[in-house]
Amino acid sequence: MYSSESVSSQIAAWVEAIGAIAAVIGAGWVAASESRATRRREERLEAGILKKEERTALATRTAALNLAILAPTQITDLHVQLKNEAWRGRVTRVSASRALLTTERMLTAFPLQSLGNAPAMVDFSRFPASLAIASEIYANLETAVRAADEANRDTIFDQYNKQMERLDESTKHQLDALRKSLNLELKDKAGHHG
């Protein structure tokens, strides 16, 4: 009898051991399943965060470009006005410097570091300087026109118009460079950069 109890005990021990092993394997399987589910949730969350960061970065770059567009637009408008002989008589009465200064302040207040890359920051930072130069050209024109005889004013306008023309072209090139560094280049229908 001793041996049959011993066999029964051994069988019971084996059954208990197999049960314990099965419980460990089952727990491991459940844990692995939960781990995979957690990892998938984390990956979806991380993908969502990355997508949101990409949208925020695109919105920031677009805002920077839209703000920067004000500078060449105002400089071009001023250049067009200087070429317009009918408008020239208003130079001593209507100063464009305030509008330029307001835009210059908005550009200066933009958080450059939010652009995230050095070339874009450098390209963007040129626009306040361009507006400051335009303002100085215009202020010098106002002073020169006020001091000049009526007969000499056309020569003065031509001189300042040439300065404004160079600044206008330069600022347009700066805008193209900013578009490229922000990776917001415009493409025409043929797929060429415009």
Write down the mean pLDDT value for the chain. Answer: 83
pTM comes to 0.66
pLDDT tens, residue by residue, 76-107: 888 887 777 666 666 655 667 777 888 899 99
Sequential DSSP letters for 28-93: HHHHHHHHHHHHHHHHHHHHHHHHHHHHHHHHHHHHHHHHHHHHHHHHHHHHHHHH-HHHHTTTTT
Q: Could you tell me the residue ranges of all domains in the chain?
A: 59-181
Q: Are 131 and 171 in contact (CB under 8 A)?
A: no
The residue whose two tokens read 């215009």 is 138
Kindly state the DSSP code that residue 151 receives in the 8-state scheme: G
The residue whose two tokens read 């041996």 is 3
The predicted pLDDT at position 65 comes to 92
186/80 Cα distance (integer angstroms): 25
